[in-house]
Amino acid sequence: MPDTNYQLLLHDEINWDEVSGPIGIPLTNDYLFRALLQRNNQVLKSLLCSLLHLNISDVHSVTITNPIELGKTITDKEFILDIRIELNRNTVINLEMQVANEGNWPERSLCYLCRAFDNLNSGDDYTAVKPAIHIGILDFTLFEDSPEFYATYRIMNEKTRRIYSDKLRLSVLDLSCINLATEEDMQYGIDHWASLFKATTWEELKMLAKSDKYLQDAVDSVYVLTQDEKIRQQCEAREDYRRRTAGRERMLKEALEEKEKLAAEKQQLTSEKQQLSEENQRLVQLLLENGIKTN
């Protein structure tokens, strides 16, 4: 059901001359990211067209199948705000924004992809399974030895490169590598979307809005959403949770490093003690060989 108040606000003229400075809540905030795509179907459609290399005319329907009540308190702060989407009623997409590198993205994304692929109804033939796509928008580099702005992975024959099936696909958008965007990435405007997600000031957003009507729509929506007190509170709660989690992870990392350091020092002392003992035994033996008794 459409949000009437939101639609009225969105279509009111926004005085952009009075909007400046820090955004306050960036689109890397997974709650704001979800709120934007859940509230504005045209923005969701345009983003998917860029990421999937589609034309707007190719998309007949885009439906979020796990909507949440925006503004309602999420009691479980560990709740993962992945977005499950049905495209044209024949493709299942899992879309997620992830800022912190928890060291498990390949495994995590595979689990989500497999869940999305498990979409047959009882009695359906296997050929009726809908294609499944997982798209991770990350604010870190997944493979440090091979950084890439936008990468897509499929199951294929290692020798012949033949695609085993076109019904499984994983894509990763690295927001920290916009400078590595290829001509193809720029052709589909993926670099502009990445810049939108990374923007920290209204000046950046207003500049991006000039390049595309859907980006303009997205910027308008972000402004309206961040004026909603309940939505802003939930965004801030997610940011607070992320900071606390990052703080705990940092403390844990420091504690583990200190433990490893102490263990290494203990091992070094044990080794030195062993060397001293062996040296002492060698000296005693040498004295005995020269007829010198030791007490």
pLDDT at position 256, please?
Answer: 80
**Confidence label for 246 from pLDDT (cuts 50, 70 and 90):** low
pLDDT at position 8, please?
Answer: 47
Q: What is the DSSP letter of 88?
A: T
Quote the CA–CA distance of 253 and 244 in Å, as a whole number: 14
Indicate if the pLDDT at residue 105 is higher than 70.
Answer: yes
For residues 290 and 209, the model is more confident at: 209
Quote the CA–CA distance of 111 and 95 in Å, as a whole number: 13
Burial class of 201 by CB neighbour count within 10 A (0 to 12, 13 to 18, 19+): middle
Q: What is the mean pLDDT of residues 243-247?
A: 69
Q: What is the mean pLDDT of residues 27-54?
A: 96
Q: What is the mean pLDDT of residues 159-168?
A: 96
- Which amino acid belongs to residue 238? R
Indicate if the pLDDT at residue 251 is higher than 80.
Answer: no
pLDDT at position 39, please?
Answer: 93
Quote the CA–CA distance of 236 and 269 in Å, as a whole number: 49
**44-48, 54-58, 287-291: which range is least confident on average?**
287-291
The secondary structure of 188-247 as a DSSP string is TTHHHHHHHHH--BHHHHHHHHTT-HHHHHHHHHHHHHHT-HHHHHHHHHHHHHHHHHHH
pLDDT at position 254, please?
Answer: 74
> Which positions ≥6 away from 207 have C-beta within 8 Å?
none
Quote the CA–CA distance of 168 and 177 in Å, as a whole number: 25
Indicate if the pLDDT at residue 186 is higher than 50.
Answer: yes
Quote the CA–CA distance of 52 and 6 in Å, as a whole number: 28
Tens digits of per-residue pLDDT, 216-242? Answer: 999 999 999 999 999 999 999 888 877
- Lookup result for tokens 């707007």: 56
**Confidence label for 75 from pLDDT (cuts 50, 70 and 90):** low
Q: What is the mean pLDDT of residues 90-105?
A: 93
Read off the tokens for 112: 């989500």
> Which positions ≥6 away from 166 have C-beta within 8 Å?
131, 154
Give the whole-number percent of the chain exceeding pLDDT 90.
65
The model's pTM: 0.80
- Of 7, 82, 86, the closest CA to residue 48 belongs to 86
Indicate if the pLDDT at residue 9 is higher than 70.
Answer: no
CA dist list (Å): 41 to 3, 208, 234, 243:
12, 19, 21, 30
β-bridge mates for residue 96, sequence order: 136
**7-21, 178-192, 199-213: which range is least confident on average?**
7-21
